[in-house]
Amino acid sequence: MMIFMMFGMRGSHGHGSKGSHSPSNEELVKQLNELKMQNEKMSKDIQSLTP
Protein backbone atom coordinates (compact mmCIF):
# COMPACT_ATOMS: atom_id res chain seq x y z
CA MET A 1 0.00 0.00 0.00
CA MET A 2 2.84 2.37 0.80
CA ILE A 3 4.26 1.89 -2.68
CA PHE A 4 0.88 2.65 -4.23
CA MET A 5 0.51 5.76 -2.08
CA MET A 6 4.00 6.94 -3.00
CA PHE A 7 3.22 6.68 -6.69
CA GLY A 8 -0.14 8.38 -6.17
CA MET A 9 1.44 11.24 -4.25
CA ARG A 10 4.12 11.63 -6.89
CA GLY A 11 1.60 13.02 -9.36
CA SER A 12 0.10 15.44 -6.88
CA HIS A 13 3.34 17.35 -6.43
CA GLY A 14 3.35 18.58 -10.01
CA HIS A 15 6.33 16.60 -11.26
CA GLY A 16 6.24 16.79 -15.01
CA SER A 17 2.68 18.06 -15.12
CA LYS A 18 1.58 21.11 -17.01
CA GLY A 19 -0.86 23.48 -15.39
CA SER A 20 -2.46 23.05 -12.01
CA HIS A 21 -5.27 20.52 -12.20
CA SER A 22 -7.12 20.19 -8.92
CA PRO A 23 -9.23 17.04 -8.68
CA SER A 24 -12.87 17.54 -7.85
CA ASN A 25 -14.36 16.34 -4.58
CA GLU A 26 -16.11 13.56 -6.52
CA GLU A 27 -12.79 12.33 -7.93
CA LEU A 28 -11.17 12.46 -4.48
CA VAL A 29 -14.03 10.51 -2.90
CA LYS A 30 -13.75 7.89 -5.64
CA GLN A 31 -10.01 7.54 -5.09
CA LEU A 32 -10.49 7.34 -1.33
CA ASN A 33 -13.08 4.59 -1.68
CA GLU A 34 -10.78 2.63 -3.99
CA LEU A 35 -7.94 2.94 -1.48
CA LYS A 36 -10.21 1.79 1.34
CA MET A 37 -11.22 -1.29 -0.66
CA GLN A 38 -7.58 -2.08 -1.43
CA ASN A 39 -6.68 -1.64 2.23
CA GLU A 40 -9.46 -4.02 3.32
CA LYS A 41 -8.34 -6.63 0.78
CA MET A 42 -4.72 -6.40 1.87
CA SER A 43 -5.73 -6.63 5.54
CA LYS A 44 -7.69 -9.81 4.79
CA ASP A 45 -4.73 -11.20 2.82
CA ILE A 46 -2.41 -10.49 5.76
CA GLN A 47 -4.85 -12.09 8.20
CA SER A 48 -4.94 -15.22 6.08
CA LEU A 49 -1.12 -15.43 6.16
CA THR A 50 -0.75 -15.12 9.94
CA PRO A 51 -1.22 -18.30 12.00
Count of CB atoms within 10 A of residue 27's CB? 11
Asked if 14 contacts 20 with a C-beta cutoff of 8 angstroms, the reply is yes
**Average pLDDT by consecutive 10-residue portion of the chain (51 residues)?**
59 54 90 95 91 74
Whether this model's pTM surpasses 0.75: no
37-49 pLDDT tens trace: 999 999 999 999 9
The predicted pLDDT at position 5 comes to 61
